[in-house]
Chains A and B, each alone.
Chain A
Amino acid sequence: MIKRHTAWLAGSLVATLVVVIAAAPVDEKADAKAKVAAPLSPEQKAKFKTLTPQEKQKFFADLPPEQREMIIAKKKAMNKNAANSVETEQAALASLPAKPERTVTPPTIDSVAIDASLDKTLATAKVTLANGTSDVEFVRRIYLDTTGKLPTPDQTVKFCSSTDKKKRARLIDELIKGEAFAQNWARYWRDVIAYRAPNTNPNQVGYDFFETWLTDQFQKNTPWDQVAANLITATGPFDENGAAAFALAETSAPVELAGEVSRVFMGVQIQCAQCHDHPNDPWKREQFHELAAFFQGTATRPAGPQVQGQRRVFQVVNQAGMPRYTMPDLKDPSKEIPIQPKFFLTSSEQPLPSKLTVQARREMAARYVTAQDNPWFAKAFVNRVWGSLMGEGFVNPIDDLGPTREVHHPELFDELASQWQSGGYDIRWLYKTLLNTKAYQRQIRSTNSAAGRTAFAANCSSRLSSDQILDALIQVLKLPDGQANANRAMPANAKKAADVGVADATGKKAAEALGVATKAVTKGRPNGRALFNTVFGVDPSVSSDEVLGTIPQALFLMNSPIVNQGISKKDSIVAEILNGTPDNHLALDQIYVRVLARKATPKEVTICGHYLDTVGNRREAFDDILWSLINSTEFLSRR
Chain B
Amino acid sequence: MFDKTMVKVAMSGQGVIGRRGFLRGITLGAAGLASVSFTDLMALQAADLRKRNMACIMLWMAGGPSQLDTFDPKPEHSNGGDTKVIDTTVPGISIAQGWEKTSKVMNEIALIRSMTSKEGNHQRATYQLHTGYAPSGTVKHPSFGCVSALELADPKFDLPHMVSIGGGTIGAGMLGAAYEPFVVQAADKPPTNVTLPVDARRFTRRLGLMHSLEETAFKQTGGADRVKDHEALYRQTSNMILSPHMKTFDISGEDPQLKAAYGENSFGQGCLLARRLVESGVTFVEVRSNGWDMHDDIHDRMSKNASSVDPAFATLITDLKQRGMLEKTLVVWMGEFGRTPKISPRGGRDHFPRVFNVALAGGGIKGGQVIGASTADGTDVKDHPVQIVDLMASFCHSLKIDPKKENMSPLGRPIKIVDGGKVVQPLFA
Which residues in A have some Cβ–Cβ distance to B below 8 Å?
130, 196-201, 250, 256, 259-260, 263, 269, 271-272, 279, 392, 396-397, 400, 443-448, 452-453, 458, 460-461, 463, 512-520, 534, 542-543, 545-552, 554-556, 558-561, 564, 568, 601, 603-604, 607-608, 611, 615, 620, 624-625, 627-629, 631-634, 636-637, 639
Contact = CB atoms under 8 A, between A and B. Distances in A.
Contacts of A631: 206, 210, 234
Contacts of B15: 397, 542-543, 546
B137 A196 contact: yes
Given A447-B19, A601-B217, A560 B224 contact: no
B225 A446 contact: yes
A548 B182 contact: no
Contact of B222 (A397, A444, A561, A625): A444
Given A542-B15, A552-B193, A632-B230, 16 more contacts: A250-B137, A400-B411, A446-B223, A452-B222, A461-B222, A545-B19, A548-B233, A551-B240, A558-B241, A559-B196, A603-B217, A604-B213, A604-B216, A607-B209, A628-B206, A632-B214
A549 B229 contact: yes
B227 interface: yes
B191 A515 contact: yes
B28 interface: no
B322 interface: no
A604 B215 CA distance: 10
B194 A559 contact: yes
Nearest to B229: A548
Nearest to A614: B205
B212 interface: yes
Q: Give 4 closest A-B pairs by Cβ, nearest first.
A: A515-B192, A444-B222, A446-B224, A517-B168
B413 interface: yes
Interface string B374-406: 000000000000000000000000000000000
Interface stretch (B172-180, B301-309, B333-341): B172-180
B107 to A, nearest CB: 36
Contacts of A634: 214, 217-218, 223
Band of interface residues on B: 35 or more
Contacts of B229: 548-549
28 contacts: A200-B127, A272-B138, A447-B225, A452-B20, A512-B185, A512-B192, A513-B193, A514-B192, A515-B191, A515-B192, A517-B168, A518-B185, A519-B290, A520-B167, A548-B14, A551-B180, A554-B233, A555-B192, A558-B203, A559-B197, A560-B193, A603-B217, A604-B216, A620-B202, A628-B209, A631-B206, A639-B221, A639-B223
B213 A607 contact: yes
B210 A542 contact: no
Nearest to B168: A517
A568 to B, nearest CB: 8
A549 B212 contact: no
Nearest to A521: B168
Q: Identify the interface centre among B138, B176, B195: most chain A CB within 10 Å of its CB.
A: B138
Interface stretch (B31-39, B110-118, B265-273, B420-428): B31-39
Contacts, number: 220
A263 B137 contact: yes
Contact of B234 (A461, A546, A554, A560): A554
A400 B176 CA distance: 19
Nearest to A459: B222
B353 interface: no
B281 interface: no
B410 interface: yes
A625 B209 contact: yes
Interface of B: 14-15, 18-21, 23-24, 30-31, 34-35, 38-39, 123-124, 127, 135-138, 140, 160, 167-168, 176-178, 180, 182-183, 185, 191-198, 202-203, 205-206, 209-210, 212-214, 216-218, 221-227, 229-231, 233-234, 236-238, 240-241, 290, 410-411, 413
B389 to A, nearest CB: 15
A551 B192 CA distance: 11
B197 A564 contact: yes
Q: Identify the interface centre among A199, A443, A446, A564: most chain B CB within 10 Å of its CB.
A: A446
B18 A636 contact: no
Contacts of B21: 396
Contacts of A546: 14-15, 18-19, 176
A198 B197 contact: no
Contacts of A547: 14
A601 B216 contact: yes
A148 to B, nearest CB: 19
B218 to A, nearest CB: 4
B223 A637 contact: yes
A443 B222 contact: yes
Contacts of B176: 546, 548
A515 B216 contact: no
A611 B202 CA distance: 12
A615 B205 CA distance: 10
A259 B138 contact: yes
B167 A555 contact: no
Contact of B137 (A259, A542, A548, A627): A259
A613 to B, nearest CB: 13
Contacts of B240: 551
Contacts of A625: 209
Contacts of A627: 206, 210
Contacts of A199: 123
A396 B18 contact: yes
B168 A516 contact: yes
A238 to B, nearest CB: 18
A441 to B, nearest CB: 14
Nearest to B178: A548
A204 to B, nearest CB: 10
Contacts of B413: 272, 279
Nearest to A544: B18
A440 to B, nearest CB: 15
A607 to B, nearest CB: 5
B134 to A, nearest CB: 9
B413 to A, nearest CB: 7
Contacts of A604: 213, 216-217
Contacts of B31: 448
Nearest to A263: B137
Contacts of B183: 515-517, 552
Nearest to B167: A517
B193 A448 contact: no
Nearest to B14: A546
A633 B241 contact: no
B399 to A, nearest CB: 23
A554 B168 contact: no
Contacts of A271: 136-138
A550 B179 CA distance: 9
A201 to B, nearest CB: 6
Contact of A549 (B35, B196, B233): B233
A446 B218 CA distance: 10
A633 B411 contact: no
Nearest to B19: A545
A331 B10 CA distance: 39
A552 B182 contact: yes
Contacts of B185: 512, 515, 517-518
A200 B135 contact: yes
A198 B210 contact: no
A463 B213 contact: no
Contacts of A620: 202
Nearest to A607: B212
Contacts of A556: 193
A639 B225 contact: no
Contacts of A624: 202, 205-206, 209
Contacts of A396: 18, 21
Contacts of A263: 137
A459 B229 CA distance: 19
Nearest to B34: A448
Contact of A637 (B218, B241, B410): B218
A549 B178 CA distance: 9
